[in-house]
Copies of this chain bind each other. A is one copy, B any other.
Amino acid sequence: MSRAAVIEPVLLVHGGAGVRRQDIDAGSEDEIRGALAQALRQGHALLQAGHGALDAVTAAVVVLEDSPHFNAGRGAVFTHDGRNEMDAAVMDGATLRAGAVANLEHVRNPVLLARAVMEHSPHVMLAGAGAETFAREHGIALADPDYFRTELRWRQWQEALRREASGSNEDTPGGDRFGTVGAVALDVHGHLAAATSTGGMTGKRWNRIGDSAVIGAGTYADSHCAVSGTGWGEFYIRTAAAHAICMRVAHMRQSVHDAAERVIRGEIPELGGSGGAIALAADGTFAMPFNTAGMFRGRMGADGVPHVAIWKDEP
Chain A residues near B (Cβ < 8 Å): 96-98, 100, 102-103, 121-131, 133-134, 204-210, 214-217, 220, 233-234, 237-240, 243-244, 247-248, 251-252, 271
Query: CB distance A97 to B238 under 8 Å?
Result: yes
Question: Shortest beta-carbon distance, A217 to chain B, in Å?
Answer: 6
Smallest CB-CB separation from A270: which chain B residue?
Answer: B96
Question: Shortest beta-carbon distance, A19 to chain B, in Å?
Answer: 22
> How many copies of the polypeptide does the oligomer hold?
2
What are 19 A-B interface contacts by the 8 Å CB criterion? A96-B239, A103-B130, A121-B205, A123-B204, A124-B238, A125-B208, A125-B209, A126-B207, A127-B127, A127-B207, A127-B209, A128-B128, A130-B208, A133-B206, A214-B216, A215-B237, A216-B217, A216-B243, A243-B243
Question: Shortest beta-carbon distance, A170 to chain B, in Å?
Answer: 15
Query: CB distance A123 to B206 under 8 Å?
Result: yes
Within the complex, which residue of B130, B220, B247 is in contact with A205, where a contact is CB–CB below 8 Å? B130
Question: Shortest beta-carbon distance, A147 to chain B, in Å?
Answer: 22
In terms of DSSP, what is the predominant structure of the interface of chain A?
A: mixed
How far is A124 from B240 in the complex, measured between Cα atoms in Å?
A: 12
Question: Shortest beta-carbon distance, A178 to chain B, in Å?
Answer: 15
Smallest CB-CB separation from A209: which chain B residue?
Answer: B125
Within the complex, which residue of B124, B206, B214, B217 is in contact with A234, where a contact is CB–CB below 8 Å? B124
Question: Shortest beta-carbon distance, A279 to chain B, in Å?
Answer: 15
Residue with the highest number of chain B CB atoms closer than 10 Å, among A100, A220, A244, A271:
A244
How far is A256 from B126 in the complex, measured between Cα atoms in Å?
A: 32
Query: CB distance B121 to A206 under 8 Å?
Result: yes
Contacts of A248 in B (CB 8 A): 251
How far is A205 from B206 in the complex, measured between Cα atoms in Å?
A: 22
Smallest CB-CB separation from A242: which chain B residue?
Answer: B240
Contacts of A271 in B (CB 8 A): 96
Contacts of A252 in B (CB 8 A): 251-252
Smallest CB-CB separation from A91: which chain B residue?
Answer: B238
Contacts of A127 in B (CB 8 A): 102-103, 127-128, 207, 209
How far is A70 from B86 in the complex, measured between Cα atoms in Å?
A: 33
Question: Shortest beta-carbon distance, A179 to chain B, in Å?
Answer: 18
Within the complex, which residue of B98, B134, B207, B243 is in contact with A130, where a contact is CB–CB below 8 Å? B207
Smallest CB-CB separation from A98: which chain B residue?
Answer: B238
Query: CB distance A128 to B96 under 8 Å?
Result: no
**7 A-B pairs with the lowest CB-CB distances in the bound complex, closest first:** A130-B207, A130-B206, A216-B240, A216-B216, A240-B243, A125-B209, A134-B206
How far is A144 from B131 in the complex, measured between Cα atoms in Å?
A: 24
How far is A103 from B207 in the complex, measured between Cα atoms in Å?
A: 11
Question: Shortest beta-carbon distance, A79 to chain B, in Å?
Answer: 9
Question: Shortest beta-carbon distance, A93 to chain B, in Å?
Answer: 11
Question: Shortest beta-carbon distance, A291 to chain B, in Å?
Answer: 17
Contacts of A205 in B (CB 8 A): 121, 123, 130, 134
Question: Shortest beta-carbon distance, A159 to chain B, in Å?
Answer: 18
A215-B217, A247-B247 known; A131-B240 Cβ under 8 A: no
